[in-house]
Chain A
Amino acid sequence: MLLTVRDVSKTFPGDPPVDVLRRVSLDLSAGESLALTGESGSGKSTLLHILGGLETADSGTVSLDGDELTGLQDAELAGVRRRAVGVIFQQFNLIPSLTIGGNLSFHARLAEREDHAWTGHLAEALGLGEHVDRYPEQLSGGQQQRVAIGRALAGRPSLVLADEPTGNLDEDTGDRVMELMVGLTREAGAGLLMVTHSPARAAALDRQIRLSHGVIDGALV
């Protein structure tokens, strides 16, 4: 099993405190794709962040590729993010000071796993071949999101996390981006976990689960 999540809970301090996640458990196999749906504030993004080592759970365990994430220190979590996880954000979050080529290879180089052939293949597959010397601000939203997908996959992570990757794109561009993301993730042999509001996008993945008030509603597919 690529990812095993058991009884993960998270509470945000406040008055009163907010239980964002309550004893959440799920599994994900290598090469499998899973959609995470739910209304706003249901805890989807928080769960995604915990799985990506961006945030820590208050209780429960998360195991990625056999490594236990729970209890890891900041530097160890950073190592997991570099080597095992690729993240795709809704707003792309490219590095504006680097060229498209620099952005594509950035994560892989951080993980010391740069593979020129694979990066070149990704650039061609994503239709970015002629844009590698340009800067993010010179590309459209759809093109920027394709760069973000390429960046997430260039280091061959075992898990790709996508947080509303098409939320900022029009329907047609979103379809194309989805297609590329799912196809290339599968080609890379990585697991994909995607947060989305859209039932249509969720239906395009292998499985989907729904979160409601921090609790898994049940596997829909």
Chain B
Amino acid sequence: MHRTAFFALLSHWRRQPLQLLALLLGLAAATALWTGVQAINQEARASYDAAASALGQGTEQRLVSDGPIPRETFVALRRAGWLVSPVVEGELEGVTLLGIDPFTLPPTAASPNLQGPRLEQFVGGGLMFANADTAARLPGYNVETAANVPGGQVTADVTTAWDLLGADGFSYLVLLSPQPRGLPPLSDVAPVLSTVTEESAGDIANLTRSFHLNLTAFGLLSFAVGLFIVHAAIGLAFEQRRAMFRTLRALGLPARSLVALLAGETVLFALIAGGLGIALGYGVASALLPGVAGTLRGLYGASVPGSLTLDPAWVLSGLAITFAGAGAAATSSLWKVARLPILAPARPRAWAMASVRGRVAQAGFGALLVMVSLGIAVHGEGLIAGFAMLGSLLFGAALMLPLALDLALRSVAPLAKGVMADWVLADTRQQLPGMSLALMALLLALAANIGVGTMVSSFRATFTGWIDQRLASEIYVTAQTPAQAVALRAFLDAEADATLPLRTAEARLAGAPADILGVVEHRTYQEGWPLIESVPDAWARMNAGEGAFINEQLWRRTGLAMGDRLELRPGWALPVVGVYTDYGNPEGQAMVAQGALLARVEGISPLRFSARVAPERVDMLRAKLEDFGIPPGNILDQASVKRFSLDVFDRTFLVTGALNVLTLGVAAFAILVSLTTLAGMRLPQLAPVWAMGLTRARLARLELLRAVLFAALTFLFALPLGLTVAWMLLNVVNVQAFGWKLPMLAFPLEWLRLLALAVLAAFLAAALPAWRLGRVAPSRLLKVFADER
């Protein structure tokens, strides 16, 4: 009995292949976007873990000093029995150079394979290791490819690192675990060293958590948009089969069996669509991963490979979300079937003709969600609360859309002139219930596009203006050795209008890694570093070493007020006298007078300078610097730094743009599915109008116009919603995720472009059903009158 009934239920889909395609593709698209995002997140996290295990331990105990640790200190510790391994860290051509000692390295370290002659080449021959991507960035160096070296890093022997960096001593010593018992105290053997716990992997994971949460939220939004299609397709199929359900029940199939069979059917489709979605998701992730890798490198300096590995975890999670999504989309229909009386009349249009009362109730629930969103905006804290606020606003507004569109159409009806305008408006209102799910999906996609687009464009405009101010110096030079730096200083003093030595010390400020900038007194800083919060005479106090400026992210994270004291180093604290914007920097930063910094911190690299010079003399000065002996790679002019920064910025939001387009594509598909499935149900409404003298071609044109009207009206509602989303992103989510607040700017041309895109998407989605209507045989239209007999 069950087998026969099951095949009877499936026979519906043989007759409705397009509906089946919509259901499977909708579910597959939703799964694909979700699993694609999960795959990207998983790959990035695996990459952070790999970076963490480069020295064997995720959480490292390190011995550090104020400056480089002398070789003698290392030797003294080893002789005393301490198990320590030295590390030299620096930057080579924009890549992190990690100098290690292969003989003392922790056994768990993910080091390159150093057997036999390779060990000799590594230790004495200058051989270095990097993964393929990083090795390609270091032409001219003796780099061999090793897959287990984290991206963005090149591993060398300590002596090689010293040669390349022109440095001496060690950056820090890794404290191996466990240590032998009965060691002499550290304070006796190396009193200048202190122990710190460096969560190298944890830092990057913490920094990027907000980015991944962002990506997950976008994935979830795309998934929800896809589920609108699935819900529409399942709902329509259930309504169209109402008569069949009644017959099956009348022939003796128990209600419970019918529900079980329909649930089985849903599981079958979820399996097929899930498999397809995961395969598509792999494709999406592979296509987006290089962009994401660029984003992570640009925003956080985190290195993630540009290629994807297949992980069973996200395959399984993809299948699970497909089942959950299909189940959620089918639940209301299954519930209705379970409660369907055997003699209930078959009303195939009931699905499309939701009652006004239902629409009002739905809008009421939507309004409640919007109020929840406002409540979170006032009382919520943290990034998750930020996304909950956005989610409830978006879905609340989507639920209110059908009623809002109905009211809008109702209010313009009196303005309509002529019988066709009357009919089109009245008929458009009639179509609302059937189209509402697709239009809600479109609203979500448009609002997300406007919101994220406004945020990114505001960010870019602010960032461009900011970087123009910040990168005021015309030339940036790095000497190769301290001795060359001294000569370079004298050279620049003679050749340039002003020389600004750039001095930076690493520090932990308020418990997190940060930098301290030491600046000299010069108008360049005063003009290029606008303060968003300051005390009177802030610059004078900072230049006098009596106060510190901090960047916006550190200020927001710590909640420090003007005048509060910030501990820069043990025993050295200064009052905060100003706050400056510092876009693009994930970490905290403090700015102090250079003299004060050099007096307090030893071992600061003296190699970097910037120089002020008239723009027309930049090329000449560059040439002179090369003649002076500075390698071209160590001289950066302002224009190329700006170009690089903006390039990093644009790459940063590449993935956001791609997800925007994909979400809009899914919404357009939702409209196509709705219009195509509604097309058959439209004929009884259109046939009488055709019979009264409207041509099929004109009816088809009107169908196109109606779709465009729907899209344009939806856009009108999406615009204020999207701008609210942008405001929330800029003022709540960004502050939580990145630590900076940005001014919101308006970009009307972008809105017009999006309106055109939405109208085009609706036009294309309506084109096929309209084309079919324009060519429908008169006999099919006449059949409408015969069918009803």
Given contacts A96-B430, A97-B429, A110-B419, contact A91 B692 (CB under 8 A): no
Confirm or deny: A150 has a beta carbon within 8 angstroms of a beta carbon on chain B: no
Contacts of A97 in B (CB 8 A): 423, 426-427, 429-430, 685
Considering the chains assembled together, what is the distance between the CA atoms of A66 and B667 in angstroms?
A: 53
**Are B691 and A52 within 8 A (Cβ)?**
yes
- Nearest-CB residue, chain B, relative to A108: B419
Confirm or deny: A212 has a beta carbon within 8 angstroms of a beta carbon on chain B: no
Whole-angstrom distance between the Cβ of B483 and the nearest chain A Cβ: 87
**Are B782 and A49 within 8 A (Cβ)?**
yes
Taking a contact as CB atoms closer than 8 A, the residue among B687, B689, B782 that contacts A55 in the complex is B782
Confirm or deny: A198 has a beta carbon within 8 angstroms of a beta carbon on chain B: no
**Are A106 and B419 within 8 A (Cβ)?**
yes
Confirm or deny: A18 has a beta carbon within 8 angstroms of a beta carbon on chain B: no
Given contacts A96-B685, A164-B789, contact A83 B427 (CB under 8 A): no
Given contacts A78-B694, A83-B693, A93-B688, contact A98 B785 (CB under 8 A): no
Considering the chains assembled together, what is the distance between the CA atoms of A106 and B692 in angstroms?
A: 9
**Are A110 and B691 within 8 A (Cβ)?**
no
Confirm or deny: B788 has a beta carbon within 8 angstroms of a beta carbon on chain A: yes
Whole-angstrom distance between the Cβ of B476 and the nearest chain A Cβ: 69
Confirm or deny: B634 has a beta carbon within 8 angstroms of a beta carbon on chain A: no
Whole-angstrom distance between the Cβ of B685 and the nearest chain A Cβ: 7
Q: With a 10 A CB-CB cut-off, give which of B420, B423, B691 has the most chain A CB atoms.
A: B691
Considering the chains assembled together, what is the distance between the CA atoms of A95 and B420 in angstroms?
A: 13
Contacts of B784 in A (CB 8 A): 93
Considering the chains assembled together, what is the distance between the CA atoms of A83 and B693 in angstroms?
A: 8
Whole-angstrom distance between the Cβ of B429 and the nearest chain A Cβ: 6
Considering the chains assembled together, what is the distance between the CA atoms of A90 and B690 in angstroms?
A: 16
Considering the chains assembled together, what is the distance between the CA atoms of A89 and B781 in angstroms?
A: 13
**Are B693 and A78 within 8 A (Cβ)?**
yes
Which B622-656 residues sit within 8 Å CB-CB of chain A?
Answer: none
Considering the chains assembled together, what is the distance between the CA atoms of A111 and B420 in angstroms?
A: 11
Given contacts A93-B785, A96-B685, contact A106 B423 (CB under 8 A): yes
Confirm or deny: A116 has a beta carbon within 8 angstroms of a beta carbon on chain B: no
**Are A75 and B695 within 8 A (Cβ)?**
yes
Confirm or deny: A74 has a beta carbon within 8 angstroms of a beta carbon on chain B: yes
Considering the chains assembled together, what is the distance between the CA atoms of A89 and B687 in angstroms?
A: 11
Given contacts A54-B782, A55-B779, A89-B785, contact A94 B688 (CB under 8 A): yes
- Nearest-CB residue, chain B, relative to A102: B422
How many positions in chain B have a CB within 8 Å of any CB in the partner chain? 32
Which A64-105 residues sit within 8 Å CB-CB of chain B?
Answer: 74-75, 78-83, 87, 89-91, 93-98, 102, 105
The number of chain A residues touching the other chain, given as a range, is 20 to 34
Taking a contact as CB atoms closer than 8 A, the residue among A45, A82, A96, A110 that contacts B786 in the complex is A45
Considering the chains assembled together, what is the distance between the CA atoms of A167 and B688 in angstroms?
A: 18
Whole-angstrom distance between the Cβ of A47 and the nearest chain B Cβ: 12
Which B401-449 residues sit within 8 Å CB-CB of chain A?
Answer: 418-420, 422-423, 426-427, 429-430
Contacts of A75 in B (CB 8 A): 695, 697
- Nearest-CB residue, chain A, relative to B693: A82
Confirm or deny: B696 has a beta carbon within 8 angstroms of a beta carbon on chain A: yes
Considering the chains assembled together, what is the distance between the CA atoms of A195 and B427 in angstroms?
A: 30
**Are A74 and B426 within 8 A (Cβ)?**
no
**Are B691 and A87 within 8 A (Cβ)?**
yes
- Nearest-CB residue, chain A, relative to B777: A55
Given contacts A93-B687, A98-B423, contact A111 B693 (CB under 8 A): yes
Confirm or deny: B778 has a beta carbon within 8 angstroms of a beta carbon on chain A: yes
Given contacts A54-B782, A79-B693, A111-B693, 6 further A-B contacts (CB under 8 A): A55-B782, A78-B694, A87-B691, A96-B685, A97-B423, A107-B692
Interface residues of B (CB under 8 A from A): 418-420, 422-423, 426-427, 429-430, 684-685, 687-698, 778-779, 781-782, 784-786, 788-789
Interface residues of A (CB under 8 A from B): 45, 49, 52, 54-55, 74-75, 78-83, 87, 89-91, 93-98, 102, 105-107, 109-111, 163-164, 167
22 A-B contacts (beta carbon < 8 Å) = A45-B785, A45-B786, A49-B782, A78-B695, A80-B693, A82-B693, A82-B694, A89-B688, A91-B785, A93-B691, A94-B688, A95-B426, A95-B688, A97-B423, A97-B426, A97-B685, A98-B426, A102-B426, A107-B692, A110-B694, A111-B693, A164-B789
